[in-house]
Structure 1
Amino acid sequence: MDQDVGANPKAILNILSFSTFYFSDRRSLIGVMAGGIVSPASLLDLISDIVDIPLNAGVFKKDCADLTRRVSLLTHLVEEIRDSTPIDSAASSSSDNDWWSDLVVGVQAAKRLLSTARFQARDSSDGAAKRISFQFQCVTWKLEKALSNLPYDLFDISDEVGEQVELARSQLRRAMQRYGSLNSNNFSSALSEPMDRDGFSNIVKIKAEEKLESVSETLQFAEEEEKQDSPPLRRSSSISLAYYLSKDADTDRLDKMVTKNTDESKKSDKLTIPVDFLCPVSLELMKDPVIVATGQTYERAYIQRWIDCGNLTCPKTQQKLENFTLTPNYVLRSLISRWCTEHNIEQPAGYINGRTKNRGDMSVIRALVQRLSSRSTEDRRNAVSEIRSLSKRSTDNRILIAEAGAIPVLVNLLTSEDVATQENAITCVLNLSIYENNKELIMFAGAVTSIVQVLRAGTMEARENAAATLFSLSLADENKIIIGGSGAIPALVDLLENGTPRGKKDAATALFNLCIYQGNKGRAVRAGIVTALVKMLSDSSSHRMVDEALTILSVLASNLDAKSAIVKANTLPALINILQTDQTRNRENAAAILLSLCKRDTEKLITIGRLGAVVPLMNLSNKGTERGKRKAMSLLELLRKACQ
């Protein structure tokens, strides 16, 4: 049957006719939106109103300006949605419409918030400031959620507008890291309530209750850790807090510990420390609160210990940590400091500017940095080796090393003729770049040119770490442009083709991130990335990287030059083969690439039909994820129309 289908367009049409039930009862997404509460035209008016709101001159001036700028970036997106119909309106589902509802709610809440925050005086109460800060948190979360679910394939959205949307998303994600993310549905109600209602206090109460519920869990974890004579070996993410929680809690000890904390609070002017000021792990007043990737806040020392023990999840939410960056929560630290001052409580000693105050460590690091400039090659080699070891251990060390002035000196050592020195120097820069604030210092030191030089001519280990460093630095959107224009992309493509398995993965990761920026896609195509990726699609070795190749191709497929190069490389048969035989994730990416390549191209649609795309697409539309089903159904509908 498969052979007949691949050879006969009429057979394709007959099979596709059986799948029309997927589409016959679906409504146009634009129709749904126009018939809802807010149409695209009305939303444009709302965005215009937000842009016209006078700037805040009080404590939330920066927050208001940032939010206004992010909302204004959505203007062209809504205009294109207003002026076009969905490419495949029949294939839209209720989940495709949810993003619009989230966007409308987020923009409405943004207007309400900006109008209120504008009148916030500098001498307002802490309670009022907290309420407004919480609203900024809610609006940011809602807008980011909406944009993350935007069904690009249902609209004729230009590359330029898509790039603006991604820029807005990246800015919202960074703002979420600063504010903290929201993981409970209870917070959603805050978006629909006026700023002066009592509902806010109820939400805060719910949030506090949720934190209190985690106390027994975190105490049990702390108890188990105390029983260990030495730090535990690195564990997999599945053997983390969930392992400890599976045991029976020592309720007697828990009660004693809670009672002890209560007694201590009574001794201190009979005050109860606000629950938000306590570390969920230690239940102690936080000295250096930091935010992890899930948006939860912990005491730096305790969460760093948790990570150093090999745990890959957030202790409270059990979500996988996408990265191990610890972002200082300056707002909470300021509130804790103010609270301690107001109640005559001595602030926890030992921390200055968000890090451990250890003059001994700092003096050692400064001595090492001075040795980096020694005339002795051996001395420089030993110093950079020690700094490499220190920079690998903790965030505190990365902060101290940067503050000791090591970054410019390390950048100079990237061009060292001594192989060991160069390898250790690039690894140091990589380790230091993990801390967000160091990225800017590395860029200011002019490191990119030297990193690219290492990528081109260093040892294989140095080239691998150079690629990983470029990926780390490119996480900041503005750095994607600088790195792309530095000549890094051809060097990364060369590593992708000729590197070790680890080097290829480092290169693929960096190239994927750089190609998110539209201007770098053409550079990658001219560097020959498509040829390298197509070879990877047919790789059958134990180190095959089909997943990575498909992911990069799916990003490139929105570029006209990339589309042409992909087709010229005879990629369609390889994509159909993956669609028929590979794992679900790869099949979905193959379908997404085919949809981008064949959209508005009847000849290519007929070609993939003859190659046997119909049956695997129908299987994917039945058994894939929501994304996979959507891509498959859109492509099936285009195939049906092409064969009519």
Structure 2
Amino acid sequence: MAGDSIDHASLIPASELLFHTVLSISDITKAANQILIQKDNFRKFSTHLENVSLILKRLSKEDIHHAESLKNSLGVLNQQVKAAKQLVSECNSKSKIYLFINSRKIAENLECCTKSISRAVSVIPLTSLDVSSGLSKQISELCQNMLDDEYKAAAAEEEILEKLELAIQEGNAERSNANQLLAHIVDVIGISTEHAVIKREFKELKSDMQISEPRRDIAEALHMEQIVGLLEKADSATSSQEKERKYFEKRNSLGQQLLEPLHSFYCPISLDIMEDPVETSSGKTFERKAIEKWLAAGNKNCPLTMLPLDTSKLRPNKTLRQSIQEWKDRNTMITLSTLKSKLESDDEAEILQSLEKLQGLCLERQMHREWVKMENYITTLIKLLGARNREIRKSVLSTLSLLAKDNEENKEDVAKVDHALESIVRSLARPIEESKLAAELLLELSRSTTVRDLIGDVQGSILLLVTMLSSDDAEAANNARELLDNLSFLNHNVIEMAKANYLKPLLQNLSSGTENVKIIMTRTLSEIELTDHNKASIVKDGALQPLLQLLSNPDVQIKEVAVKALLQLSTLPENGLQMIREGVAQSLFELLYRHSLQSTALREQATDTMMHLAMSTTHQRADEVQVSLLDSEDDVFKFFSLVSFTGPYIQSKILKTFLAMCQSPSGLTIRERLRQLSAVQVLVQLLELNNQTVRENAVKLFYYMTEGGDCSHFTSHITERCIIVLLTIIKTTEDAEEMVSAMGIISRLPRESQITRWLLDSGAVKIILDCLSDRHKHASHKRQVIENSVLALCRFTVSTNLEWQKAVAQEGIIPILVQLLESGTPLSKQNAAISIKQFSESSWLLSKPIKKPGIFKFCFVPHETGCPAHLGSCTVESSFCIIEADALKPLVRLLREQEIGTCEASLDALLTLIHGGTPQGGACKVLADADAITPLINLLSLQSARLEEKILVALEKIFQVDEIKNKYKASATMPLVAMTQRKDSHRLRSLAARVLAQLGVLEKQSSYF
């Protein structure tokens, strides 16, 4: 029903008209959400329509059955909804490429529809309908939002559309450009890259263009055809058979004679055939570079007419440029059709001349390389690899490399020719100029997975390439090394054996060769794939000192090669420790601290190496060898100061380096030095950066710096903005360690009232509560998250600030703390007990006295007994009573824990019942009923003076209750007597004696007092 148009709106009641319009809008929103192009725009459009629908539904509940004025406005709205429906329907039926090309037009139409619907809604007669002021305001705001909203093609779509327009404007119809543009489009619209799928999309695109053609103006239709013509140049848009058919149809229609260029093709200034002809204000055409050079020399008149020139008007002569290109293409096709026969002659000079011409054409345009393949030159060229003339073979290898570059089909076609790969491999064994070209060609071919398998199977290929590694020609060695890496997964064992045999001469050349040989060996060492065993052997055999010598070379490129080699060797921890011992760290540090050094790559690699060296100091062997990465406070200062003068990549690596050092045996010293340098100030600034990696490492290092030290001197650097950033990280980060670190920082911040107030105002309690629940996303770090969260809570539960206590209690924290007493880690239990103790200290103040009932009520109303400990009316929420919170039993169980810290925290919480208010027997009986007395007595054997003193003071109060004293006298006597024998503390002996006197074991006049 919703899909039917409402043609007779005047005959339909307003309520039914509303119903039909709402259904139509519902259909549109469903259809809009299915469109895969411009998802954000259509999502925004759907949201506006859904809001309109909600308003119409609210209107339908009013008494509007006879509201004629409403029917008129609904009729207008219905017409706009129909237009929107048509637009969405078209976008759902068109091909994805068609929609992409028309992205801007679609965005314009969506904006137009939104504004039209807004205007239609705004004319609804709200006053006459007597709707509520709230609904009227809502309609007004919605209409304004719809009018203000703008629709644009996505940034990725705009970027590709601009590249398409530029390619058309510049006439860049090369296959590689078309491939690249189509690949971007396919990625954005989300279709498969399979040839059949793209072909189907293009077929639908052309069908859509034919349907839409009558509605388009000429310029728009021409622009669309130009875009499609460009994209059809891509490999996946047109099959090779179709391209070949079109090529030969055109080539066979040209004849055999080359055409001379027209006179108009020549530039009047340079007298060369023009490539980029431009027309001046005088009406004459010149080559752009030539006329620009003429004008740059100070000439202001046309070189032909001598009329004054307007230098701002150089208009591209596209028609002439296209004519010149067509003439060139025609002659190139004719040349290629006749050149092959000359390559098959016996005249070496003619062959060389023809090869030179062929190579020139291949270099000139990628399209020419396609034509060379269609003319089947590859087979002819492979045959020429058997020629005796070295120059012919070299020219063939160069030409084949050009044909194979960035072309998967050509790579495979080369490999398919009989004995082609064997012929190329044979050239590896020839003089360096030819072997280098052969390696370059094989390297290009190896980028095809299919061909790579075949190269590895050619007999002798691996050993010939390994031999080339020691070539004096750096380019040849590099090509061989990269090719070996490409082949390594196929012939791993063969290559490892070859490398092992090669490593020894490589090290010998590194130590004793000429400087040029050393550089080649170092480059090989930096890029060749090495196992951990290889790396260990190289360092053990003395590679570090030669590399350090190259590191001191003034040439930056040589430094880069040396650092890159050191970087590869440093990934093995044992090597890292040895490198620190031999002074590599200090050399890298000095190199990094030279502000005049301009090479970003060198700085990045040096920082990476320093990071690996720092990580090696955390290795299990670091304690044995006693190494230190940065020896002095000055070194720490200089290295950390680089964070303020470098980019994100180096910043993150420096932070990781300090993170590793903080975890090393010298970590305490590093943390203390960083504190002295006020490094926190820098880290707080880094927290607010947009770079996620830098921020993550800054948070983690900040966390380490708060460990085991006084954090009070951080206060001046902690701002409300810093608090908000840390809490945002906890809520949003995907990095579990970053979340743990941020919560850890919160837990260790100085407990100053201003910082606590900022935390409360920023919603810290709710965030901590989420972390304590099972809802947080970092289950792998659950233990650390909970430990840090419970510690963070302790600052809010101090009994000196009832406002804070009430704020966190209202969030339901106390039951969670009690639960943690049962299920938490020892540290979580300890801090949970501390918070419960702090809450309980306020219970005496908050417990409400029980009013005595009158005589009449006393007889008929049950008497309210109140809390047995606090003797008042208690609840968890109002007085934080640990009895009401069911915390007694878990606290008593903690008294039996092995961790002294946990025991003491639990003891402190329990003793608030007898220390918080006026001593009385009720609280003591509560402890006795909870079976707390026996574990208290047992704790006297822990030999912890502080814990023992707390227990003795407590027992002195508890044993004032005769019932409890008589019950536990026997079990308490011996531990107390033993304490009176201790000679290390007069205070404890005296306290123990006082309790024994209370039990009647000692006289009150005993010498123990």
Identify the TM-score tier after normalising by the shorter chain.
0.3 to 0.5
Q: Which structure exhibits the higher relative contact order, with contacts defined as CA atoms closer than 8 Å and separated by 6 or more residues?
A: 1
Instruction: From the CA coordinates, give the structure whose radius of gyration is larger.
Output: 2
Structure 1 length-normalised TM: 0.45
Structure 2 length-normalised TM: 0.30
